[in-house]
C-alpha cells in the first residue's frame, strides 16, 4: 500500500514536471538575452528538456568537435510521433524511391554555424521551448530536428571572449572593445574553416558527423540561422539569383510561401526585412543549397548583429540593437517556418517524392580515369554523400571530355569509375560533376565553379547515354612482403596519399630519395619524383624493413623492389640527379597580416591531412624568432602584409632565404614581398578600362564585376620537369579566386596561364579580369642565394577540397630544393 502510494506520488511529480516545463530563462537563471549562454549550459538545457519531456524530446549526441564539445540533435515532436520516430523516418526515406506513403513534415533547424553569429543558439532554446508548449499543435504532423549549435568551438570562443572583454553593465558604444573581436573571431571552427562552405566537401569533423544524420532524415525544410552586419535588417527567403538550374519550381515557390508567412509577423511588429537580395543559391556547399540539392527547401535567415553586436549596440541610425531583439526575430522565423511546414505537410511530401524521380538530365553518366589514390579519395567523398558508383568495363566511351573541353573519347577498364546520373542522389551528382554550372545571373559572392573531376585531377567524360558498369570493389591494401635482399624499393609520387606516406617515412627516420630525371629499370619507366627507398640509406635504422612495411600498408602503397641501382636508362640511384628528401623543419606565420581562413587551411593541411609537424609562429613575435632554426617558412594569404612587411622585416627575410631558407609565399603575401625592395616577382600592371565615362549609377554593380573573378576554373600549362610539379601532367586545372596577376619571371615559371588560356573552362570571370590574367604566373620558384621562394598566386589548399592542388604544396615542402 505504502509502496503504491509512493509510486503514485512519484508519477504525479513527473507529470507535473512535464507540464511545467521550464523556459530557458527559468532554467538558466537569467532572462534570455541578458547574457550569452555557454555551450555546456545549452547542452544542459536540452538534456533537461529530454529528461522532463522524454515523450516529446529525444536528444542525440551525434559527435564531438575538435575541442571535444558535444554536437547535439534534438528530435522534437508530439508524443505520438516520437513514439513512431523510426517508422516516420523509414516511411519518409521510402519516398526517395517513389514508395511509401508518408504524411509528416520533416523540418531541420540548424543554428549558429558561424560561431560569433551568436544569437542563433539562444533563439534555438526559446523556439524549442515554445514548440513544446504554446505551439505544440504544429508538432502533430511535423517532426522538428533542432541542432542548437553546428559550431560549438567557434561559438564558445566568441562567448568566452565576450564575457572576458565586456563592460559591466555592457556598453552599447560601438567603440568599446566588446564590439571588436580580434584576428581570430568566433566565426569559423577550431581549424578556422567556414562550416557554411563545407557541406559538400566535408573536410571538417563537424560536417562529416552531421551529414550521417542529415542523410538519415533528408528534411523537407532546412533552415540555417545566421547574422550579418549590425545595420542590416533581417533577411529571409526567397533567396537572391542566381539559383542553380536544378532547383525546381516548387522549391522556388515554397521559398516564397515561407517568406510571406514571416512577413506577416514582421509587418505586425513593424520590423524591417529584405528578401531576394545578396544570398543566392548556387555554390553547393552551403547550408541552404546542399539541402536543396537533396530535395528539401534550404533557406538562410540573417539577423543583423554578429560578433560586433554584443548584448547591445548603437546602430548607424542611432537605434539600439539588443540581443533580446535579435532573439525575437530568429525565434519568430523559426516558429513561422515550422508553422508553414505543418500547414503544407502533404504538399511537401508529394513534392519531395517528385524531386526523387528521374530528372533525365543531359548527362547520363560521368566516367573517370586516373591514379588509384585519386579515385579512392573521390570514392571516400561519394560514400559520405551516399552517391553510388560502379567500376568500368573494357570499352570506349564518348562524350564531353573535361581535359580538352570538347567532345572526345576515352578507353575504360575495371579501374575506371562510373557515376550514374540516374540515382536517388542524381541531382547532387549533376551539381557536383557537371562540367559547367549554368549561371542564371553572374553576380554572386562565392565561387562559380567546383567540378569534381577537375578538383580531383581525374580524366573524365560526361556521356549523354548511360554507361553500364560492374560492382565496384574497393582496392585492397598492399601486403607484399619486403625482402631484405632488395637494393631499394620504388613507388610513385602523384597524389596526396603519396605525400602522407612520405611524411610518415620522414618521421619514422626512414631516408627517401627521388629522381630529377626519368629512368627505366627492368623494362619499367619511372617518372621524375619517384620515391626511392634504398637499403644503403637506411643501414643504421634498426627496424628498417618492418617499419617500411607497416607504413606502406597503412597508406596502401605498392612498393616495387629493385635489385640494383644501375638503371637501364637515365641516372643511377647514386647520381647527383637523385636527391635525398630533407627532413624539413617548418614554420607557418599566423596572426594579423594573414587571413584566418588562409592560415586555417594550412594548419588543417599539416595536422589533419599530411600529418607533419610545424611551428605556428605569430606575427606579433616573429622578429624575435631565430628563423635559422627552420628550413621552410610559409606565409599564408592575407590582406595585412603591407603594414607587417616593414623594410627591416623584408630585409631579414631576404637574408634568411639567401642563407638557404625556403619561403612559400601564398596569395596576398606575394604582393608585399615583391617589387623594388623585395624578391623578383612583379605584379602585372592593371590596364585601366578607358570606357568608363558617363556610366549610369544604376548598374554600377554590373560594371564592377567586369574586374572580378570570384572563383572559376582555368586550364594552365605545367612544366613538370620542375620539382614543384613532379607527379603532375603538363596541364593543371586551377581554381582562380581573384584577379591578382603577376608577370612571368625570367625563369622558374612552373604553372602559368599561356596566351589565350585566360577564359575559364568553368565558372565566371569578368571581361577586364580576363585580359589582366592573360599570360601570368600561377605557381613558380625563384632561386635566391642558397635558398628559394615558392610563389603560389592561386591557393591549392582553398577550403581543403581541391584535392589535385595539394601535391604542389607537398612538392614545395619536400621536392623543391
Interface with Zn ion (CB under 5 A) = 114, 117, 226
Rounded to an integer, what distance in angstroms lies between the CA atom of residue 632 and that of residue 634?
A: 7
The least distance separating Zn ion from the CB of residue 159, rounded to whole angstroms, comes to: 16
150 vs 810 by CB, closer to Zn ion: 150
The least distance separating Zn ion from the CB of residue 226, rounded to whole angstroms, comes to: 3
154 vs 420 by CB, closer to Zn ion: 154
Which residues, 6+ apart, have CB-to-CB distance to 634 below 8 Å?
586, 587, 588, 589, 602, 614, 664, 666
The least distance separating Zn ion from the CB of residue 229, rounded to whole angstroms, comes to: 11
The least distance separating Zn ion from the CB of residue 118, rounded to whole angstroms, comes to: 11
Length of the chain: 817
Rounded to an integer, what distance in angstroms lies between the CA atom of residue 339 and that of residue 375?
A: 45
117 vs 373 by CB, closer to Zn ion: 117
Tell me the three cell numbers of residue 611: 600529418
The least distance separating Zn ion from the CB of residue 203, rounded to whole angstroms, comes to: 18
Quick one: 69 exposed, middle or buried, by C-beta within 10 A (0-12, 13-18, 19+)?
buried
Q: Where are the beta strands (DSSP E) in 203-311?
A: 221-228, 234-235, 240-243, 273-274, 280-281, 297-304
Sign of dihedral through CA atoms 636, 642, 645, 651?
Answer: positive
Which residues, 6+ apart, have CB-to-CB distance to 141 below 8 Å?
103, 104, 105, 342, 345
The least distance separating Zn ion from the CB of residue 114, rounded to whole angstroms, comes to: 4
Residue with cell 605557381: 779
92 vs 226 by CB, closer to Zn ion: 226
Rounded to an integer, what distance in angstroms lies between the CA atom of residue 39 and that of residue 158?
A: 11
Residue nearest to Zn ion (CB): 226
Which residues, 6+ apart, have CB-to-CB distance to 702 below 8 Å?
443
Instruction: Give the side-chain half-sphere CA count within 13 A for 652.
Output: 14
Rounded to an integer, what distance in angstroms lies between the CA atom of residue 96 and that of residue 351?
A: 11
Tell me the three cell numbers of residue 32: 534570455
> Would you give the DSSP letter of residue 36?
P
304 vs 668 by CB, closer to Zn ion: 304
The least distance separating Zn ion from the CB of residue 338, rounded to whole angstroms, comes to: 21
114 vs 500 by CB, closer to Zn ion: 114
The least distance separating Zn ion from the CB of residue 117, rounded to whole angstroms, comes to: 5
78 vs 232 by CB, closer to Zn ion: 232
111 vs 605 by CB, closer to Zn ion: 111
The least distance separating Zn ion from the CB of residue 116, rounded to whole angstroms, comes to: 9
CA angle 271, 272, 275 (to 5 degrees): 130
SS3 annotation, 353-379: HHHCCCCCCCCCEEEEECCHHHHHHHH
Task: Provide the 3-class DSSP secondary structure of residue 351.
Answer: helix
114 vs 425 by CB, closer to Zn ion: 114
49 vs 109 by CB, closer to Zn ion: 109
Please choose, from the candidates 285, 287, 299, the residue with its C-alpha nearest in 3D space to the C-alpha of residue 437: 285
111 vs 544 by CB, closer to Zn ion: 111
447 vs 581 by CB, closer to Zn ion: 447
What is the edge-to-edge ordering of all strands in the sheet holding 417-420?
390-391, 417-420, 365-369, 459-463, 395-401, 406-412
287 vs 591 by CB, closer to Zn ion: 287
228 vs 342 by CB, closer to Zn ion: 228
Element (H, E) at 335: helix 323-343
The least distance separating Zn ion from the CB of residue 236, rounded to whole angstroms, comes to: 14
Residue with cell 586545372: 733
117 vs 280 by CB, closer to Zn ion: 117
CB contact at 8 A, 498 and 557: yes
The least distance separating Zn ion from the CB of residue 228, rounded to whole angstroms, comes to: 7
The least distance separating Zn ion from the CB of residue 300, rounded to whole angstroms, comes to: 8
The least distance separating Zn ion from the CB of residue 279, rounded to whole angstroms, comes to: 10
SS3 annotation, 522-572: CCEEECCCCEEEEHHHHCCCCCHHHHHHHHHHHCCCCCEEECCCCCCECCC
CB contact at 8 A, 12 and 119: no
Rounded to an integer, what distance in angstroms lies between the CA atom of residue 580 and that of residue 591?
A: 34
Rounded to an integer, what distance in angstroms lies between the CA atom of residue 23 and that of residue 133?
A: 10
Task: Provide the 3-class DSSP secondary structure of residue 789.
Answer: strand
Provide DSSP, 724-741: GGTT--SEEEEEE-S---
119 vs 745 by CB, closer to Zn ion: 119
Instruction: Give the side-chain half-sphere CA count within 13 A for 409.
Output: 5
The least distance separating Zn ion from the CB of residue 520, rounded to whole angstroms, comes to: 55
The least distance separating Zn ion from the CB of residue 232, rounded to whole angstroms, comes to: 12
The least distance separating Zn ion from the CB of residue 446, rounded to whole angstroms, comes to: 13
Rounded to an integer, what distance in angstroms lies between the CA atom of residue 51 and that of residue 18?
A: 9
Task: Provide the 3-class DSSP secondary structure of residue 32.
Answer: coil
The least distance separating Zn ion from the CB of residue 183, rounded to whole angstroms, comes to: 18
52 vs 150 by CB, closer to Zn ion: 150
Which residues, 6+ apart, have CB-to-CB distance to 441 below 8 Å?
241, 242, 280
The least distance separating Zn ion from the CB of residue 196, rounded to whole angstroms, comes to: 6
Rounded to an integer, what distance in angstroms lies between the CA atom of residue 371 and that of residue 373?
A: 6
114 vs 662 by CB, closer to Zn ion: 114
Please choose, from the candidates 776, 801, 750, 782, the residue with its C-alpha nearest in 3D space to the C-alpha of residue 665: 782
Amino acid at each position: 500500500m505504502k509502496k503504491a502510494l509512493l509510486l503514485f506520488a512519484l508519477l504525479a511529480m513527473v507529470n507535473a514536471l512535464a507540464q511545467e516545463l521550464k523556459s530557458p530563462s527559468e532554467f538558466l537563471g537569467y532572462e534570455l538575452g541578458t547574457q550569452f549562454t555557454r555551450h555546456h549550459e545549452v547542452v544542459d538545457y536540452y538534456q533537461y528538456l529530454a529528461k522532463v519531456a522524454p515523450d516529446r524530446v529525444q536528444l542525440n549526441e551525434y559527435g564531438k568537435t575538435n575541442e571535444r564539445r558535444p554536437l547535439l540533435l534534438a528530435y522534437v515532436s508530439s508524443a505520438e510521433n516520437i513514439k513512431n520516430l523510426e517508422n516516420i523516418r523509414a516511411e519518409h526515406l521510402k519516398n526517395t524511391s517513389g514508395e511509401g506513403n508518408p504524411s509528416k513534415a520533416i523540418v531541420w533547424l540548424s543554428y549558429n554555424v558561424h560561431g560569433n553569429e551568436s544569437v542563433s543558439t539562444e533563439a534555438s532554446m526559446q523556439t524549442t521551448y515554445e514548440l513544446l508548449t504554446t505551439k505544440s499543435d504544429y508538432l502533430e504532423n511535423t517532426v522538428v530536428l533542432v541542432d542548437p549549435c553546428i559550431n560549438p568551438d567557434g561559438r564558445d570562443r566568441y562567448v568566452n571572449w565576450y564575457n572576458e572583454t565586456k563592460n559591466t553593465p555592457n556598453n552599447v558604444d560601438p567603440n568599446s572593445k566588446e564590439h571588436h573581436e580580434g584576428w581570430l573571431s568566433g566565426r569559423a571552427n577550431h581549424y578556422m574553416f567556414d562550416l557554411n562552405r563545407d557541406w559538400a566537401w566535408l573536410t571538417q569533423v563537424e560536417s562529416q558527423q552531421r551529414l550521417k544524420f542529415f542523410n538519415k532524415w533528408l528534411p523537407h525544410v532546412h533552415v540555417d540561422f545566421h547574422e550579418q552586419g549590425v545595420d542590416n535588417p533581417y533577411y529571409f527567403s526567397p533567396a537572391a539569383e542566381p539559383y542553380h538550374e536544378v532547383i525546381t519550381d516548387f522549391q522556388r515557390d515554397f521559398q516564397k510561401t515561407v517568406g510571406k508567412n514571416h512577413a506577416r509577423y514582421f509587418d505586425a511588429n513593424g520590423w524591417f526585412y529584405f528578401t531576394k537580395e545578396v544570398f543566392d543559391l548556387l555554390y553547393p556547399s552551403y547550408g541552404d543549397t546542399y539541402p536543396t540539392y537533396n530535395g528539401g527547401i534550404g533557406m538562410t535567415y540573417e539577423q543583423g548583429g554578429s560578433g560586433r553586436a554584443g548584448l547591445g549596440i548603437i546602430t548607424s541610425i542611432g537605434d539600439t540593437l539588443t540581443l533580446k531583439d535579435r532573439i525575437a526575430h530568429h525565434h519568430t522565423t523559426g516558429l513561422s517556418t515550422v508553422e508553414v511546414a505543418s500547414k503544407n505537410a502533404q504538399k511537401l511530401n508529394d513534392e519531395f517524392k517528385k524531386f526523387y524521380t528521374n530528372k533525365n538530365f543531359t548527362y547520363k553518366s560521368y566516367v573517370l580515369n586516373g591514379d588509384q589514390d585519386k579515385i579512392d579519395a573521390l570514392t571516400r567523398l561519394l560514400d559520405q554523400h551516399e552517391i553510388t558508383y560502379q567500376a568500368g568495363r573494357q570499352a570506349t566511351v564518348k562524350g564531353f571530355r573535361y581535359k580538352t573541353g570538347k567532345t572526345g573519347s576515352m578507353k575504360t577498364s575495371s579501374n575506371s569509375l562510373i557515376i550514374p546520373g540516374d540515382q536517388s542522389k542524381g541531382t547532387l551528382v549533376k551539381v557536383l560533376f557537371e562540367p559547367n554550372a549554368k549561371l542564371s545571373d553572374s553576380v554572386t559572392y562565392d565561387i562559380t565553379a567546383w567540378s569534381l573531376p577537375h578538383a580531383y585531377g581525374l580524366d573524365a567524360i560526361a556521356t549523354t547515354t548511360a554507361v553500364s558498369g560492374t560492382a565496384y570493389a574497393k582496392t585492397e591494401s598492399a601486403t607484399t612482403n619486403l625482402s631484405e635482399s632488395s637494393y631499394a624499393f620504388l613507388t610513385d609520387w602523384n597524389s596526396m596519399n603519396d605525400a602522407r606516406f612520405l611524411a610518415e617515412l620522414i618521421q619514422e627516420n626512414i631516408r627517401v630519395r627521388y629522381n630529377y630525371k626519368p629512368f627505366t629499370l627492368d623494362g619499367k619507366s619511372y617518372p621524375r619524383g619517384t620515391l626511392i627507398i634504398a637499403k644503403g640509406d637506411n643501414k643504421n635504422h634498426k627496424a628498417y624493413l618492418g617499419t617500411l612495411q607497416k607504413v606502406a600498408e597503412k597508406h596502401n602503397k605498392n612498393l616495387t623492389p629493385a635489385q640494383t641501382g644501375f638503371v637501364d636508362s637515365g641516372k643511377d640511384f647514386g647520381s647527383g640527379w637523385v636527391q635525398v628528401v630533407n627532413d624539413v623543419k617548418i614554420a607557418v606565420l599566423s596572426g594579423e597580416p594573414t587571413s584566418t581562413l588562409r592560415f586555417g587551411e594550412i594548419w588543417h593541411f599539416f595536422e589533419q591531412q599530411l600529418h607533419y609537424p610545424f611551428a605556428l609562429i605569430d606575427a606579433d613575435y616573429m622578429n624575435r624568432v631565430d628563423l635559422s632554426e627552420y628550413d621552410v617558412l610559409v606565409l599564408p594569404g592575407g590582406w595585412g602584409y603591407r603594414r607587417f612587411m616593414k623594410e627591416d622585416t623584408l630585409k631579414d627575410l631576404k637574408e634568411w632565404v639567401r642563407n638557404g631558407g625556403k619561403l612559400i609565399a601564398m596569395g596576398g603575401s606575394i604582393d608585399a614581398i615583391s617589387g623594388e625592395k623585395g624578391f623578383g616577382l612583379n605584379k602585372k600592371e592593371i590596364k585601366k578600362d578607358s570606357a568608363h565615362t558617363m556610366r549610369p549609377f544604376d548598374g554600377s554593380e554590373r560594371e564592377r564585376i567586369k574586374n572580378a573573378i570570384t572563383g572559376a576554373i582555368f586550364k594552365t600549362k605545367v612544366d613538370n620537369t620542375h620539382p614543384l610539379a613532379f607527379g603532375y601532367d603538363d596541364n593543371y586545372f586551377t581554381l582562380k579566386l581573384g584577379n591578382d596577376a603577376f608577370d612571368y619571371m625570367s625563369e622558374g615559371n612552373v604553372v602559368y596561364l599561356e596566351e589565350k588560356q585566360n577564359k575559364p573552362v568553368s565558372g565566371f570571370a569578368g571581361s577586364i579580369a580576363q585580359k589582366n590574367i592573360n599570360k601570368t604566373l600561377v605557381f613558380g620558384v625563384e632561386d635566391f642565394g642558397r635558398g628559394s621562394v615558392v610563389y603560389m598566386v592561386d591557393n591549392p589548399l582553398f577550403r581543403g577540397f581541391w584535392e589535385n592542388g595539394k601535391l604542389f604544396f607537398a612538392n614545395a615542402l619536400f621536392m623543391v630544393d
